[in-house]
Amino acid sequence: MKDWSQLRPLSKLDQLAETIMKTAFLLSENHHVIQSYLNHKGAHFKVINRVGESEYDILCLQINIEKTNYAFVSKSDLEKGLRDDLWIGLVVFINGQKPTKYLFPSTVWNEPNQMFTDTAVKNPEYGINLNQHTMKEFVEKYVFEAMVNKI
């Protein structure tokens, strides 16, 4: 297993998270990655559900739990705002373990709480806060393999 906290620059973990999420969708029976976005304004790539022909934008985030328990997306990066067809793919890196994938709709931020925050400390942002109080619920509810069937 890897010591994820040693990867430099940090953008390598961002790229790895995006690759992990794309691969997970490619391996899914019902989904295809049909487009990647270069400017990353609002999403990293688009997937299509082959059964329902629905299209979804996927925005990738990562948390290296050895460094932080928080990830965020700036509101200015969401050109179209929160919407039903924008989902967040989160990859959590823990030293010595395989990365774990999670998937949740961007609309969770319509009702902020301890886990899904809506703040404006420096700049307006939507955040995901994983700590001892929120981690168990998050893991049970948003594991990729269960959530991918919902889109």
- pLDDT per residue as tens digits for the range 12-23: 888 899 999 999
pLDDT tens digit sequence for 27-56? 988 898 887 776 666 678 889 888 878 999
Reference 130, options 78, 85, 69; nearest CA is 69
* Domains, the chain, with CATH or none: 4-150 (3.40.1350.10)
- In order of 2, 7, 9, the CA distances from 88 in angstroms are 24, 23, 23
Pairing of strands 45-49, 31-36: antiparallel
Percent of the chain whose pLDDT exceeds 90: 50
Q: Does 51 or 147 have the greater pLDDT score?
A: 147
pTM of the model: 0.89
pLDDT tens digit sequence for 57-90? 999 999 988 888 999 999 988 878 899 999 999 9
Q: Supply 121's token pair.
A: 């400390």
3-state secondary structure of 32: strand
* Residue showing tokens 């989904």: 31
* Residue showing tokens 């929160």: 82
Q: Is a pLDDT exceeding 90 seen at residue 101? A: yes
Burial of 44 (0-12, 13-18, 19+ CB in 10 A): buried
